[in-house]
A and B are shown apart, each in its own frame.
Chain A
Amino acid sequence: MYPILEKRYLAEGICLMKILAPRVARSAKPGQFVIVRATERGERIPLTVADFDAEAGSVTIVTQTIGVSTRKICALEAGEALVDFAGPLGHPSEFVGMAPEALHGRRYLFIAGGVGTAPVYPQVKWLHEHGIAADVIIGAKTRDMLIYTDEMRAVADRLYIATDDGSEGFRGLVTQLFEQLVAEGRHYDEVVAIGPMIMMKFVALTTKKYGIRTTVSLNALMVDGTGMCGACRVTVGGRTRFTCVEGPEFDGHEVDFDEAMRRQGMYRTEEQRRLAIEAERTAGHVCKIGLDR
């Protein structure tokens, strides 16, 4: 069991949890993920780590309630525990393994969308701690859905905000803001984009025009997360790769995003059916026509 040390909502449907998992905390690096199971009969859910503290033995995860399992995770409170918390899994971000001299003077731009802002944070923090300045764009639908702005401001060189409705910062998409920054003469050696698949697809299409190397972090479906099931396969540069053991970060210009998005929906119908049954059950309804079978 992995005790929940702290829990709070960052925005509607987005909750932060600090989990006591000393082994994971000691080994975690930016870019890696964990597999979480909330309850005994729960699903194994991959979540990218949002922060870690080796001394305190804690790892931070940020979850958005989108299905049965993410709801079950967010329904737990501080003082309760997750039944499983396995990791860290996947490769750390590329820069973690790069020589300091190769990193020095390299200009990074992070483009974070929605709940994807959380896993961007440890990357920017790591670069900041290693004396590398990085700019960050955080995008959200509206001001109330922005997360991690204060934390990010503390570690980013420049922080830009984009909201679809203009309620805070730039009004428009992260890709439009990016193009504006380039037009203003900002130079970037590398872009790292983490967010909804559709956002990463369009960021990659945009950066390609400017010839800027772009890394994306894929949130593919997984069962075990250790290389055993192959549910997370994705086409990168025409080759099938396993997100769990070869990723989760890949060259954004090589990823087949349309296939990746389609594959993410593989269990959606089944998932929605279960969600509906769960909601009905919670409301005390007993199905008489057998839909719950």
Chain B
Amino acid sequence: MANKIPRVAVREQEPAIRATNFEEVCHGYDLAEATLEASRCLNCKNPRCVAACPVGIRIPEFIEALGRGDLPAAAGVIARDSSLPSVCGRVCPQETQCEGSCILGIKGEPVAIGKLERFVGDWQLENEPEVPQIAPNGHKVAVVGSGPAGLACASDLAKMGYAVKVFEALHKIGGVLVYGIPEFRLPKERIVAREIAAVERLGVEFETDVIVGRTVTVDSLLDEEGYDAVFIGSGAGLPRFMGIPGENLNGVVSANEFLTRANLMHAYDETYDTPIYVGQRVVVVGGGNVAMDAVRTARRLGAEATIVYRRSEKELPARAEEVHHAKQEGIDFRMLTNPVEVLGDERGWVRGIRCVEMELGEPDASGRRSPVVKAGSEFEVACDVVIMALGTSPNPLLAATTEGLATDRRGCITADDEGTTSRPGVFAGGDAVTGAATVILAMGAGRSAAKAIDRYIRERNA
């Protein structure tokens, strides 16, 4: 019978302290805390959490093993469906997935599934199992992009005996895990580097500084370099802007630029050469995870930081935990507010942002109530940096340079649930197909594609 105790609180850095450093906010559970939290799970016969997980992790099963103290078994259960548990445990929107469906959540608090997954994932990184001898099957697969989709696809293919090479455009492996998600949410050395090392131990090779579509092409990989198939997991693409006056003033940057400078280029560390401009007051436009990451990074770099979002707090697409943490760290939230112009000084630098108040009208196609401008509600917010966190639009490079690769009307690569594209031998998954989404969906897409690639190569050689 499940233990009817309240959800075990997780230890975190004090808000006032963590707002001045880049170390991880959440310390996670230790074994005693994890075991205790695991004892709360009802082990439902018809587990709604599993149905709500994008990759269907057998959640009650791993929690049960964890409760018994059998960590290798718990890790084994998760590994059947996820290859990045220590990452997903940290960055998944659990409140709308597994935890959002937990029966315990109806009357009280759901089981802390994310924190338990993270605990098991971290344990596995510390206690890396012996890599089994894998017999090479003599076939080669190229993977484009080393983010969650590419890493998951590569490791599954390597386990099947394929010789896999991952091509990365940037100088560091990890995609959004290194350039996008900040250190304080996902530690780079302790977690990301070790996840990558685990993929390397399977025999996967990585080559950085290769922009597929420019340095090489999908066709040259297939025709000249002898790859049997190519998986494209190239990620989301170009940052969107609002198209309002003043957007090209000095001091207006995309969240992608701001975060890449801070995360990938370590601009917050004086011993690195890349500059970053933070100013005194920063306004971040947007309400997703990227907006939260940008505003909290700005705060840590010493700025007064504000979120401006056109809908209400209920509609914020960011993870609930990030919004909660941001508030604790002193971020100012201005909901139902939309910028109409960025204001500049005589030197062409940002001096403020003109906004209008919004109210919620009828639900739109997405089911969310669409914001409408309140007449005569214009006001100005003084600031010296504006960060646009409005999502991305697809990078056309791969579609433009790959013969016969179809895209949808948004410009995303067309692929089915298994990653099959219009071009035989070319598979795709993750944000390049769906537009900006989550780590777990990209990881799941990479794994499905690995299965489809294996089938494609077998059939062709049968």
Contact = CB atoms under 8 A, between A and B. Distances in A.
A binds B: yes
A86 to B, nearest CB: 4
Main secondary structure of the interface of A (DSSP, over half): mixed
B239 to A, nearest CB: 4
Interface in B242-266: 243, 247-248, 250-251, 253-254, 256-257, 260-261, 264-266
- Chain B contact residues (Cβ within 8 angstroms of A): what range? 35 or more
Contacts of A259: 248, 348
B265 to A, nearest CB: 7
- Chain A contact residues (Cβ within 8 angstroms of B): what range? 35 or more
A234 B211 CA distance: 23
Given A37-B171, A86-B211, A86-B215, A229 B274 contact: no
A251 interface: no
Given A27-B215, A228-B239, A245-B395, A240 B209 contact: no
A228 B248 contact: no
A254 interface: no
Contact of A229 (B210, B257, B347): B257
A227 B257 contact: no
A267 B241 CA distance: 20
Nearest to B243: A240
A41 interface: yes
Contacts of B253: 230-231
Given A42-B273, A84-B208, A292-B270, A229 B256 contact: yes
A240 B248 contact: yes
Contact of B214 (A88, A229, A262): A88
A262 B395 contact: no
B237 A41 contact: no
B275 A230 contact: no
Given A41-B266, A223-B274, A262-B348, A233 B215 contact: no
Contacts of A86: 169-171, 208-211, 215
A44 B248 contact: no
Nearest to A71: B273
A273 B260 CA distance: 21
A226 B395 contact: yes
Contact of B239 (A27, A230, A262): A230
A280 interface: no
A33 to B, nearest CB: 10
B216 A27 contact: yes
A68 interface: yes
Interface in B151-201: 169-171, 179
Given A44-B171, A245-B395, A266 B277 contact: yes
Contact of A68 (B241, B266, B273): B273
Nearest to B348: A262
B10 interface: no
Given A41-B273, A223-B257, A223-B265, A265 B215 contact: no
Given A24-B215, A43-B265, A266-B277, A85 B209 contact: yes
A274 B271 CA distance: 10
Contacts of A88: 214-215
A235 B248 contact: yes
A89 interface: yes
B248 A233 contact: yes
Given A235-B248, A242-B238, A293-B270, A227 B275 contact: no
19 contacts: A41-B272, A43-B274, A86-B171, A223-B261, A223-B264, A224-B169, A224-B170, A226-B211, A226-B395, A226-B397, A227-B237, A227-B395, A227-B397, A231-B253, A263-B248, A270-B276, A270-B277, A274-B273, A274-B275
